[in-house]
Copies of this chain bind each other. A is one copy, B any other.
C-alpha cells in the first residue's frame, strides 16, 4: 500500500483480463474504496462514451439523493434513474479482482486489457484503444479551452 493516501481515484492503470473475465482493480483504487467503506464497486455503462463508469457505493447514494431533490417526473430524474436501473454492484474477490459483466464489456469494447482511469470521485474502465482515442481528443479540446487551466491556477493562489 502506498504511504500517501489521497482519497481520490487517480491516474490510469492498464490491467489484464484473464480467460475467466477477471481483472485486478488497481490497488490504489482499492484503498480509496476501503476508505469509503464500500463493500464492492458499482458499475454502470456510460451513456456518453463507450466505457464503464465505476465508483464506490458512496456515489450511488449521492445519485439517489439527487433524484429525491429534483422533480420526480423531470427528464433529469429519469436520466438518473436510468443509471440506477443499469447499475450493478460487483464484489471484489480476496485477491482484489472483479468480474466485469458481459454486457458492460461489450459496451466498452473490452477484450483482454482494461484501462482503469481515475477521475477523482469516480473512475472509468475503457478498452485501452478506445481510451487513447478519447484521451487524445480531450487533450486537444483542453488546449483550445484555456479556461480549464485558469480555474486551476486561481484556486492554487491561496496557499
Residues of chain A touching chain B, judged by Cβ–Cβ distance below 8 Å, are 2-6, 8-12, 28, 36, 39-40, 47-48, 57-68, 73, 75-76, 78-91, 117-121, 135, 138-139, 141-143, 145, 147-148, 151-152, 155-156, 159
Q: Which of B12, B68, B120 contacts A63 (CB 8 A)?
A: B120
Using A82-B142, A118-B84 as known contacts, say yes or no to A66 and B135 having CB atoms under 8 A apart: no
30 A-B residue pairs with Cβ-Cβ distance under 8 Å, sorted by A, are A2-B89, A2-B91, A3-B40, A4-B40, A4-B90, A6-B39, A6-B89, A8-B84, A9-B84, A10-B84, A10-B87, A10-B89, A11-B85, A11-B89, A12-B85, A47-B142, A58-B159, A59-B152, A66-B152, A67-B119, A67-B121, A68-B121, A76-B145, A76-B147, A79-B138, A80-B152, A84-B119, A84-B120, A85-B118, A85-B135
Across-interface contacts of A36 in B (CB, < 8 A): 159
Using A11-B85, A39-B3, A89-B10 as known contacts, say yes or no to A145 and B79 having CB atoms under 8 A apart: yes
Across-interface contacts of A78 in B (CB, < 8 A): 138, 141
Q: Which of B4, B65, B67, B117 contacts A57 (CB 8 A)?
A: B4
In angstroms, how far is the closest chain B Cβ from the Cβ of A42? Answer: 8
Could you tell me if A59 and B4 are in contact, using CB atoms closer than 8 angstroms? no
* Residue in A68, A79, A142 with the greatest tally of chain B CB atoms within 10 Å: A79
